[in-house]
Amino acid sequence: MRRTPIVLALLGALTLSGCSSSGSPGAQSAPAAESSAPAAAGGGTFSVITHGGPGDSFWDVVKNGAEAAGKKYGVTVTYQGAGDPGKQSQLIDQAVSQKVDGIVVSMANPDALKEAIGKAVAAKIPVVTINSGADSSKAFGAITHVGQSEDVAGRGAGEQLKAAGVSKLLCVIHEAGNVGLDQRCKGAEQTLGGTVERLQVDVGNLADVTSKVAAKLQSDKQLNGVLALNPAVAIAARDAIKDAGSQAKLATFDLSGDVVSAIKDGDVLFAVDQQQYLQGWLPITFLYLYKNNLNTVGGGLPVNTGPGFVTKDNADQVAKLAEAGTR
């Protein structure tokens, strides 16, 4: 049958009416837009277990980052610092028995934690390693590692110290058996182009650290540089240099408010910054995304948070952030 122009016009009007997004009778509503964010799966509980003891300025910032991320994503974050790998292993075992949704663990002594982490992986609990032990992270079954390459950071420190005229360096190690600290000293040795000596101290006795560093500087006048691997040790070394009447130049790994002030005052050349706040924040973010959206990050490679360098040029800006507990 041949359609007249009037019939065609009516059909067109009906078609437009059927596609309308208005609220008139017979209108078809457009489908609601779906959220692109991963759907929450009833929150979650994530356990952060580090080798840094309570009250350590470095690990306090890691804790701040982890807890801030937990608040952001509406999940429960428990943070526990252990002074030795045996205690760390026990805490990992406890987290496994509690059936947490994810575990974050630093591995200063990877071999001592291998069995405990293996139990977590066998229980299908995702593990993110942080700070140290990057070389063992993938082999142990962690979904990723967050931190800095200690070897690369050490080489960067060595380059800067060499440029400052240091030819004989004292590298102060504050934790026996910590593989990351040894990597820092080795890295500095590779690029300094001079001699690097190691001095073992106890971070739990800072007065003794000052005494030992001062004695070393007094007995060897050729030492014209000190590299601390911890911010509290850096301040103790600063005092040691003054006590010894030495002209040795001081640099350190990691930040604290005192270290930033010392950089501003010219007592510390620079601090190697691994941005430890990110070592708390990012693992919780990654575990949240893994739990709710099965996302993994890094493609089998570490997610690097450093190294960066804090010098007199940027110390004022960083000081404000350090006061807020995020640097």
Specify if 319 maps to a domain.
no
Residue-wise pLDDT tens digits, 277-308: 999 999 999 999 999 999 999 998 999 999 99
> From CA 283, how far away is CA 102, in angstroms rounded?
9
CATH of the domain at 283: 3.40.50.2300
Whether residues 159 and 55 fall in one domain? no
On whether residue 3 sits in a domain, the answer given is no
Pair of tokens at residue 267? 């007592």
pLDDT value, residue 42: 53
46: exposed, middle or buried (C-beta count within 10 Å: 0-12, 13-18, 19+)?
buried
DSSP string, 30-73: PPPPPP-SPPP-S--EEEEEESSPTT-HHHHHHHHHHHHHHHHH
Predicted structure pTM score = 0.77
Would the pLDDT of 7 be above 50? no
Domain total of the chain: 2
**109 and 202 share one domain:** no
223-239: pLDDT as tens digits = 999 999 999 999 999 99
Q: pLDDT tens digit string along 71-87?
A: 999 999 999 998 789 99
Nearest in space to 148 (alpha carbons), one of 172, 126, 130: 130
Q: Is the pLDDT of residue 46 over 90?
A: yes
Q: How far apart are alpha carbons 44 and 68 in whole angstroms?
A: 15
Q: Which domain holds residue 175?
A: 150-273
Residue 231 DSSP SS3: helix
Is 141 within the bounds of a domain? yes
Q: What is the per-residue pLDDT for 31?
A: 39
Share of the chain above pLDDT 90, in %: 76
Determine the residue type at 162.
Answer: K
| Choice among 49-58, 69-78, 138-147, 233-242 with the minimum mean pLDDT | 49-58
